Amino acid sequence: MPLVTPLSSAANIRSLREDVKEIVARAAFTHLGRLYNRGDLGDTEDRAALEHLRQHYDTYHHMESTHNRLVREEWVDRFAIVGAPSQVRDKVKEIIDTGVDELTIIPCGSSKRNVLAAFARNVMEKL
């Protein structure tokens, strides 16, 4: 399972998706990069986007929003969980039901403390 970055409450899903892209850029760089290096990244759009990401990813600004423009929208859905609390909870339950017993939570946005508190309250307490 790739890196999972759960976010909980916020009204604007587009804003949430943008907030998480700085983490998704690094996850795609790593995980898709491994597939690419083995010759196992079959999707031509992913290959082209990964090549572009590799050319323009600045390791001096690791996991910063400067990389958001390099992230395909499809990668957000692949490497993160973004949505209203009920959507995040449903996705976490779905992942747990497949046998995954560990998720990496990387809070994004202006208040990481609030994101973690909302995740605990709206997702974990209700699973």
Gap between the Cα atoms of 63 and 28, Å rounded: 11
Q: What is the pLDDT of residues 17-48, one digit of tens each?
A: 888 899 999 999 999 999 999 999 999 999 99
CB 4 within 8 A of CB 83: no
Gap between the Cα atoms of 82 and 62, Å rounded: 21
| Residue 92: exposure state from Cβ atoms within 10 A (0-12, 13-18, ≥19) | buried
- Please state the pTM of the whole predicted model: 0.81
Q: Which two tokens stand for residue 103?
A: 């998720």
